[in-house]
Structure 1
Amino acid sequence: MPVTAVDTDTDDLTMTLVGDFPAPAGRLWRAFTDPRQLERFWGPPGWPATFTQFDFTVGGRARYEMTSPHGEKSRGAWEFLRIDPENGFEVLDGFVDEEGNLTDELPTMRMTFAFTDTAEGSRLTNTTYFESAEALEQVVAMGAVEGSTMALDQLTAVLSDLRAYAEGKGTRTELISDQHVRITRLIDGPRELVWRAHTEPELMRQWMLGPDGWRMTVCEMDASPGGRYRFAWAPEEGVAGEPFGFDGETLLAERPRRMVTTEHMTDTDYPSTTNDLSLYEEDGATLITTLIEYPDKETRDAVLATGMTDGMEASYARMERVLLG
């Protein structure tokens, strides 16, 4: 895990996060000062950020909003107080309303970012200064420690060249928590086409088949928010297995970047999951990231034990071969 320590000090009224990364400090600096790169990790899994303003000058302002899988938004703003190129910067960090005005319900904090080279790469030291113990306790109670740790654990992928990070590694499954799993797969093709492959039934029928020997018998997809979908599969004659299917609702759609859906196994009383799909393109390749939220650890483990990852890899390989080959 890149984050090595998170310490809260009620005497100094600070929260300090330290993380070590396999890249030089200059690369770390660029990740924190380019809003398009910041968007890939500034926000814990399931709450990605969108920076709508980024005036990186002393006295300038940045504004961002983080959107949950259900569409709730948490908005924040930075005022840049100090900029030391390549080494660090300091901001006044606060929660804002839809118009960008600071809110009174939550504290405003001073926050510093320092980047230093190490023998293995670089170190981030992020210190937040609070005006009172009550403000520190309020932010910690909101889950700031856990949220910051999960957000910055996404930074390693940002610092790496996308192809070097994921090409040839197939479909990878990571356990994020008892209820969350992150699945990633690099597709050698443009994001717009990968988005269409996930939302247009005529394309979905060509690749979303799982292991060889299965066919897709139902493919209905409405990718607009509030729309429904239904998929079903059955084995070819002579292939072992029972027909099955999934149905659900589209909760959020931001073409061609993000789509959130529920997923329920048709004709069962199994609980639904929430599937948060995001697409990021770099150098003609698209990283597919799916964050799945399960109701509990038992359901998570039962689903993973079905060989889900292998079935997804077979489908993604077919997508590259059939749609992009």
Structure 2
Amino acid sequence: MSVKSIDKDYEALTITALAEFEAAPEKVWELWADPRKLEGWWGPPTYPATVREHELSPGGTVTYFMTGPDGKTYHGWWHVLAVDPPRQLSFRDGFADEDGTRREDMPVTGVSVTLTARDGVTAVEVVTSFADRPQMDELISMGAVEGAAEAMSQMDAVLAG
């Protein structure tokens, strides 16, 4: 498994996931840049993602939903802040209603993705930032850490094609 660690930092209000892949940064970048590849890993295995809209450029929007084992869908969105292929991506990530309307009652997080080539592998760091401790605690209680680990564990298979 390429996921090396997922760490919570309650003082910095972040969750940091580290992974390494035996692939060039350009290939790993496609995990975010190609909506079909993003669908292959963004949701945990039992909550596969479907990407509806995918504009991976500053100011762009990505919308998606995950379908649970019971058929219920959970909708989300990204507001893309910065894109520097194949090195860096940052976006705000939040929850939405079925029609894509942002849910004001749910937390919005900041996400920063950094890809670094070293020693024949591509290291990936994904940092999720929270506005405050209650928001962080809420998402952790919803299974965000376990869900991220399960989702990211699918990245190798997507890279392998």
Give the TM-score band, short-chain normalised.
Answer: over 0.9
In the alignment, structure 2 segments of 5+ residues that lack a partner are none
Q: Which has the larger radius of gyration?
A: 1
Any idea what the Cα deviations from partners look like across 1:109-135, whole Å, max 9, x if unmatched? 111111111214111100011100000
**1:127 equivalent in alignment to 2:131:** no
Aligned to 1:75: 75
- The one-character-per-residue Cα deviations of 1:237-278 (angstroms, maximum 9, x if unpaired) are xxxxxxxxxxxxxxxxxxxxxxxxxxxxxxxxxxxxxxxxxx
- Is 1:89 aligned to 2:89, yes or no? yes
Compute the RMSD of aligned alpha carbons.
Answer: 1.0
**Cα distance in 2 between the residues matched to 1:26 and 1:72:** 34
Output aligned runs, 1:170-319, within 5 Å.
none
Q: Which residue pairs with 2:150 in the alignment?
A: 150
CA–CA distance in 2 between the matches of 1:69 and 1:13? 31
Identity of aligned residues (%): 34
* Aligned equivalents of 1:105, 1:41: Cα separation in 2: 26
Aligned equivalents of 2:31, 2:60: Cα separation in 1: 18
- Confirm or deny that 1:44 pairs with 2:44: yes
Q: 2-side partners of 1:144 and 1:5: how far apart?
A: 14
- In the alignment, is residue 64 of structure 1 matched against residue 98 of structure 2? no
Distance across 1 between alignment mates of 2:11 and 2:69: 37
Normalised TM-score (structure 1): 0.49
Q: Tell me what 2:26 maps to.
A: 26
1:17 deviates by 0.6
CA deviation string 1:58-89 (max 9, x = no partner):
10101000001211111110010011121011
Secondary structure of 1:59's counterpart equals coil
Corresponding letter in the other structure for 2:99 = E
- 1:114-165 per-position Cα deviation (integer Å, ceiling 9, x unaligned): 11112141111000111000001111111111111111111101111x3xxx
2 CA distance for matches of 1:7 and 1:105?
26
In 1, Cα distance between equivalents of 2:93 and 2:20: 23
The amino acid of 2:65's aligned partner reads E
SS of equivalent residue, structure 1 residue 104: coil
Distance 1:74 1:99 in 2: 11
**Alignment pair present for 1:11 and 2:17:** no
The match for 2:100 is 100
Counterpart secondary structure, 2:46: coil
Shift of 1:106: 1.6
| SS of residue paired to 1:89 | strand
Q: Following superposition, which runs of at least 4 residues in structure 1 exceed 6 angstroms of deviation?
A: none
Provide the residue aligned with 1:54 in structure 2: 54
The secondary structure found in structure 1 opposite 2:126 is: strand
Does 1 or 2 have the higher relative contact order (CA < 8 Å, sep 6+)? 2
Indicate the SS of the match to 2:98. coil
Instruction: Tell me the CA shift for residue 20 of structure 1.
Output: 1.0
1: CA distance, partners of 2:118 / 2:42: 23
